[in-house]
DNA sequence: GAAACGTGGAC
DNA sequence: TGTCCAAGTTT
């Protein structure tokens, strides 16, 4: 074992974070279901955001068989607000494959895990190491940052990924590789942070080439980002007798599979009343709703209309009680728009 | 390999 | 206020 690994594990034994999906200190009973669930939720998502969702999911569905038997709509609603909704669709698909084809247990090999929906190279390695005690090279964003600093890697990301993987492989021990991976992530999250790393208390300071340069925060180098385009759209708030019309978005694409307010197209200029869900006297609200996605920003106008009580018609959606919208499982952008629409009504 | 894919908190 | 960022995967 390298000195880096032994120093890090010694630090981890004293300073490991206590997290709901980790087994209690001193025990060695990581539940693969909980490890898997937490790893999926933690993809591109902060620990603070994940905690309440993890508690909710494990309370509703305590094991993979329970989750596999759940209704799609219930799982999507429970995931609402956490983002990256393809994860929730893949979560269910994965649970059903595991329950049906693996006798309720997850495969233990990286290759077997990698074949499941929603499990890529990182997650397969993490589960193999953390839940099954296998020696695996676990490289996430934290590890990339820590390793790029340890070795002062000047190649910018993402091009540096193969080199960072090889360097991580070189310091990953055969014993306790799951603890090593979690220790690297704890270190990256609490000490070797993106800005203002706390080198003064870092257990790996004496091994760190970036520390010796005097400017550790400049690592990892990154390629320049592209500008985020601005788009515009209209959401349609259609009332009828205390209900509002909701739709289910297509499975593929943005906010796929989620319940939503009807919208028109999202375009480079405000599209007005295009694609309104009904022929009605639409009134455009005074304010817009702004929301920022990963790859574009959106400005939504709110058009409101009311239909006669008992008005018949053929709508592609469901009428939902306006005072129960919290239970609809709307993605944040629509929850935000709904709040604004309700404010304007009053 | 690049682009798509959410959200909220920190600075 | 704008930018960056968080335990990535899929197409």
Q: Regarding predicted confidence, which is higher, A285 or A24?
A: A285
**Confidence label for A346 from pLDDT (cuts 50, 70 and 90):** low
Compute CA distances A271 → A231, A242, A333, whole Å: 10, 28, 18
Assess whether pLDDT exceeds 90 at residue A4: yes
Assess whether pLDDT exceeds 70 at residue A28: no
Closest nucleotide (CA of A226 to C1')?
B3
Check A39, A103, A110, A308 and give the catalytic one. Answer: A39
Closest nucleotide (CA of A188 to C1')?
C7
Assess whether pLDDT exceeds 80 at residue A159: yes
Q: Is A39 known to be catalytic?
A: yes
Listed by start position, the domains of chain A span 3-218, 230-345
Helix (H, G, I), strand (E, B) or coil at A55: helix
Assess whether pLDDT exceeds 70 at residue A27: no
**Confidence label for A311 from pLDDT (cuts 50, 70 and 90):** confident
Is residue A276 within 8 Å of residue A211, measured between CB atoms? no
| Residue A108: per-residue pLDDT | 96
Among residues A346, A279, A258, A331, the alpha carbon closest in space to that of A300 is found at A331
CB-to-strand C under 7 Å, chain A 21-60: 21-22, 38-39, 42-47
Q: What does CATH list as the number for A230-345?
A: 3.90.79.10
**Confidence label for A306 from pLDDT (cuts 50, 70 and 90):** very high
| Residue A30: per-residue pLDDT | 85
| Residue A197: per-residue pLDDT | 97
Tell me the mean pLDDT in the region A58-85: 98
Is residue A128 within 8 Å of residue A108, measured between CB atoms? yes
**Confidence label for A104 from pLDDT (cuts 50, 70 and 90):** confident
Q: CATH topology for A3-218?
A: Endonuclease III; domain 1 (1.10.340)
Q: Which string of b and e fits A168-205 if b means at least 16 CB within 10 Å?
A: beebbbeebbbbbbbbbbbbbeebbeeeebebeebbbb
| Residue A29: per-residue pLDDT | 63
- Give the largest Cα separation in chain A, rounded: 75
Tell me the mean pLDDT in the region A143-167: 97
CA distance A133 to A91: 23
Which positions ≥6 away from A39 have C-beta within 8 Å?
Answer: A123, A126, A127
Tell me the mean pLDDT in the region A244-249: 97
């Amino acid at each position: 074992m390298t000195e880096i690994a032994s120093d890090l594990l010694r630090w981890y034994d004293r300073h490991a974070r206590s997290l709901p999906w980790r087994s209690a200190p001193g025990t060695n009973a990581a539940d693969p279901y909980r490890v898997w669930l937490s790893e999926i939720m933690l993809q591109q998502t902060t620990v603070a955001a994940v905690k309440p969702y993890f508690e909710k999911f494990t309370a509703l569905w305590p094991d993979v068989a329970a989750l596999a038997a759940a209704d799609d709509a219930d799982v999507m609603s429970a995931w609402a607000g956490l983002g990256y909704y393809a994860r929730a669709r893949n979560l269910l698909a994965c649970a059903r494959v595991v329950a049906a084809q693996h006798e309720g247990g997850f495969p233990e090999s990286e290759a077997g895990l990698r074949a499941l929906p929603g499990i890529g190279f990182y997650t397969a390695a993490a589960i193999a190491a953390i839940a099954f005690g296998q020696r695996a090279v676990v490289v996430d964003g934290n590890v990339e940052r820590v390793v790029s600093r340890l070795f002062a890697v000047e190649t910018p990301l993402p091009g540096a990924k193969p080199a960072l993987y090889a360097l991580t492989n070189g310091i990953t021990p055969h014993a306790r590789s799951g603890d090593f991976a979690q220790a690297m992530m704890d270190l990256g999250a609490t000490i070797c942070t993106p800005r203002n790393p706390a080198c003064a208390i870092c257990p790996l300071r004496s091994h760190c080439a970036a520390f010796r340069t005097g400017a550790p925060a400049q690592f990892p180098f990154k390629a320049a980002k592209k500008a985020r385009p601005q788009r515009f759209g209209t959401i349609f708030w259609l009332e009828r007798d205390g209900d509002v019309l909701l739709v289910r978005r297509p499975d593929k694409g943005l906010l796929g599979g989620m319940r939503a307010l009807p919208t028109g197209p999202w375009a480079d200029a405000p599209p007005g009343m295009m694609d309104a869900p009904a022929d009605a006297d639409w009134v455009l609200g005074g304010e817009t709703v702004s929301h920022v996605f990963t790859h574009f920003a959106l400005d939504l106008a709110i058009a409101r209309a009311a239909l006669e009580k008992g008005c018949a018609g053929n709508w592609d959606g469901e009428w939902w009680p306006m005072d129960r919208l919290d239970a609809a499982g709307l993605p944040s952008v629509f929850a935000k728009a709904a709040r604004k629409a309700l404010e304007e009504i009053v």
